[in-house]
Amino acid sequence: QVWDSGGRSHSVDLTALEKHGEVYTEGPFACLAWSRSETRLLYVAEKSRPKPQPPCPWDVPAAARPVEEDEDEEVGAVYPGEQFVYHEDWGEALSTRSMPVLCALDLEGSSLSVLEGVPEHLSPGQALWSPDDRSVVFVGWWHEPFRLGLTACSNRRSGIFHLDLASGCCELLSAEHSAAFSPRLSPNGQRLLYLEGDLGGPHRQCLRLRMLSWQTRQTVTVLDVVQEPTAAFAGLYAEALPPRCWAADSRRAVLGTPQRSRTDLLLVDTETATVTNLTAGSPEGSWELLTLQWDLLVATCSAPDHPPSLVVAALPPPGRELPLCWVPVQGAPTVPGVTWKTLTVQPPCSGQSPAAHGTQAFEALLLSPPDGPALHPLIVCPHGGPHAVFDARWRPSMAALCQLGFAVLLVNYRGSLGFGQASISSLLSRVGEQDVADTQLAVEQALRSEPLDPQRLALLAGSHGAFIALHLLAHEPERYQACALRSPVSNLPALLGTSDIPDWRYTSLGLPYSWERVPRAEEVATMLLRSPIAQAAQVRTPVLLCVGARDRRVSPMQALELYRVLRARGVPVRLLWYPEGGHALASVETEADVFRNCAHWLLRHL
């Protein structure tokens, strides 16, 4: 539906037109872009597939069909023997995304067209109109020789492309071998900003901010990869630029990105390549820009003790951006009974880590209930990823645990986003070692400096965080009294043939990956030695496992195998199996049930 000041102006049943399949409304491919004339809409949908034909009595190998049947054949129909051909998809959370196509809806001409000219080896998405409405710009992901998981993976080969609608000519605007995405055209139509990362390596990494001149097609690097963070700037780690990030002057842009254990709004001057942190030092630890129009910033902000608030601010002229005056539009009160602080943890010097990043400090967020006569039990939470971050945002489940009397430690071990590329790279070949040691180091520091009960410790984690937690249970079998895990990684070599990101199994151990790679005995042995399942005999702590049957990233069979091993050894263990759940266990009903069971498990054993 299209609405204007007079009400609903257009209503189009896209499904009835049968030009394409399901419209992409979310995820990395999705977009909905108006032309400059506001007469056409650009979006992405699944390519139409031929409909299966029912079997007929004449379906005999090598037998001729009756002539009259041939005359009624549907063009492009799928006949018996072809309807079960495998079609690749883009992995976890994208199982219905296989062959995206660009679609243009002409409201004046009441027509819908699937754009032609996109090379067959590309999957297009994130499209927008050119300044003259005669062409489109889109992101194309290479899908040959096969697709790897795309969710939370900014290291897949992709480029910024320009498609001329009249000639069908398609040209690459960005670098040939890179991961380029999230194009944003300036208001004057002269500049195109986008993010760019390196191919391969960590799935999430520090990115470059690149800018292309629309007239000259020349590209410059506005902000480069940051190896070591400074007090002013720690690098770019955003999954995407805000849909509207440009100021009215077509010179400055605003974006949100992790900066250590915060997510701040940064103003970037594309002419001077300078960065101004608009939210540094604010009591809210996480900011998100919703839109920037006519130099009016609309954002949300939150903190571990403060649900999101909607705020606005007018962007001052260049050079006078600070201090920025934020005006609340819709606020939320601070939640009583929750306090938080950031702990800085300094790893000890080690002969195994001679480089500077080997001893770089990392951080942890400590959420605490009100002080009382007794020491607080502590729940330790290393994040998943592993290249992710716990920023200081509102998390209802963590605040609820504080309301139940628990302190919560969110650990951003070395390898987390927001601390420079050197920190991210330091974890490669050290998974199961550096991340585990960092988490335990953060726990020991918190126990020394805060009113916490060392006899009541528990672990709560998911995915790679659960991998760390299982290692801690094996290394410290008497230290932790309870453990609740979601979508746990426990057997690394078993993921080679079951995960949508098999490349990570090699990269995480510092091994090269190629498309034609097959496992070698010595590499599988190394992976198994780093796997918690190999140390399951040391686990004594009661363990709760929560998994989704539709998880494409970490097979639920990992948890089932662990469940059987622990149960056979007499360890208290419980397995929750969610038939429709994916890796994130993110549906409302599933998330609520997971929290309910985890909270009961922790209360029972602590």
> What are the tens digits of pLDDT across the range 500-523?
999 999 999 999 899 999 999 999
User: DSSP 3-state assignment of 555?
Assistant: coil
**Structure tokens that stand for 330 in this block:** 């819709």
Mean pLDDT score across all residues of the chain: 94
Q: Which of 284, 308, 334 is the last residue of a domain?
A: 334
**Structure tokens that stand for 495 in this block:** 């993921």
Q: Is 583 a catalytic residue?
A: yes
Question: Given 387, 551, 555, 605, which residue is catalytic?
Answer: 551
Both 277 and 390 in one domain: the answer is: no
Is the separation of the CB atoms in 120 and 98 below 8 Å?
no
The proportion of the chain whose per-residue pLDDT surpasses 90, expressed as a percent, equals: 89
Q: Say how far apart CA 527 and CA 529 lie, in whole Å.
A: 5
Per-residue model confidence (pLDDT) at position 59: 54
Residue 593's H or E segment, with its range, is helix 588-605
Provide the number of structural domains found in the chain.
3
Q: Is the pLDDT of residue 132 over 70?
A: yes
Q: Which of 301, 334, 367 is the last residue of a domain?
A: 334
Q: Say how far apart CA 252 and CA 421 lie, in whole Å.
A: 25
Q: Say how far apart CA 213 and CA 296 lie, in whole Å.
A: 25
Residue with tokens 């986003």: 417
Among 47-51, 248-252, 285-289, 586-590, the minimum mean pLDDT is found in 47-51
In terms of C-beta density within 10 A (0-12 exposed, 13-18 middle, 19 or more buried), how is residue 528 classed? middle
Q: Which of 225, 240, 266 is the last residue of a domain?
A: 225
Please give the C-alpha separations between residue 327 and each of 252, 265, 310, 323, in angstroms, as whole numbers.
21, 16, 9, 13
Q: Answer whether residue 74 is part of any domain.
A: no
Both 473 and 324 in one domain: the answer is: no
Q: Answer whether residue 217 is part of any domain.
A: yes
Both 234 and 327 in one domain: the answer is: yes
Q: Is 264 a catalytic residue?
A: no
Question: Given 130, 463, 490, 555, which residue is catalytic?
Answer: 463
Q: Answer whether residue 149 is part of any domain.
A: yes
The proportion of the chain whose per-residue pLDDT surpasses 70, expressed as a percent, equals: 95
β-pair type (219-223, 274-277)? unpaired
Q: Is the pLDDT of residue 183 over 80?
A: yes
- Per-residue pLDDT band for 129 (boundaries 50, 70, 90) equals very high
Both 448 and 573 in one domain: the answer is: yes
- Per-residue pLDDT band for 104 (boundaries 50, 70, 90) equals very high
Q: Give the residue among 565, 426, 430 at the shortest CA–CA distance from 488.
A: 565
Mean pLDDT within 135-157: 97
> What are the tens digits of pLDDT across the range 260-307?
999 999 999 999 999 999 999 999 999 999 999 999 999 999 999 999
Q: Answer whether residue 59 is part of any domain.
A: no
Count of alpha carbons within 13 Å of 260, Cβ hemisphere only?
19
Is the separation of the CB atoms in 518 and 505 below 8 Å?
no
Q: DSSP labels for 130-165? A: -TTSSEEEEEEEE--S-----TT-TTS-EEEEEEET
* CATH at residue 556: 3.40.50.1820
Both 468 and 366 in one domain: the answer is: yes
Q: Is the pLDDT of residue 55 over 70?
A: no
Both 278 and 202 in one domain: the answer is: no
Both 239 and 302 in one domain: the answer is: yes
Q: Answer whether residue 317 is part of any domain.
A: yes
Both 221 and 233 in one domain: the answer is: no
Q: Say how far apart CA 602 and CA 72 lie, in whole Å.
A: 65
Task: Report the chain's terminal Cα–Cα distance, integer Å.
Answer: 53
> What are the tens digits of pLDDT across the range 173-182?
999 999 999 9
Per-residue model confidence (pLDDT) at position 304: 98
**145 preceded by a cis bond (ω within 30 of 0):** yes
Is the separation of the CB atoms in 188 and 143 below 8 Å?
no
- The dihedral region occupied by 7, where left means phi > 0, alpha psi between -120 and 50, and beta the remainder, is left
Q: Answer whether residue 119 is part of any domain.
A: yes
Q: Answer whether residue 65 is part of any domain.
A: no
What amino acid is encoded at 146 in this protein?
F
Per-residue HEC secondary structure of 432-491 comes to CCHHHHHHHHHHHHHHHHCCEEEEEEEEEEECHHHHHHHHHHHHCCCCCCEEEEECCCCC
Both 418 and 300 in one domain: the answer is: no
Q: For residue 254, what are the domain limits?
A: 227-334
Q: Answer whether residue 423 is part of any domain.
A: yes
Helix axes 588-605, 396-403, angle to 10 degrees: 30
**Structure tokens that stand for 573 in this block:** 């263990």
Q: Is the pLDDT of residue 353 over 50?
A: no
Both 143 and 3 in one domain: the answer is: yes
Both 371 and 417 in one domain: the answer is: yes
Per-residue model confidence (pLDDT) at position 349: 81
Beta-sheet strands, E only, within 157-285: 158-164, 170-172, 179-185, 191-197, 208-213, 219-223, 252-259, 262-269, 274-277
DSSP summary character for residue 13: -
Both 490 and 502 in one domain: the answer is: yes
- Per-residue pLDDT band for 71 (boundaries 50, 70, 90) equals very low
Q: Is 551 a catalytic residue?
A: yes
Question: Given 143, 464, 471, 583, which residue is catalytic?
Answer: 583
Q: Say how far apart CA 34 and CA 143 lie, in whole Å.
A: 28
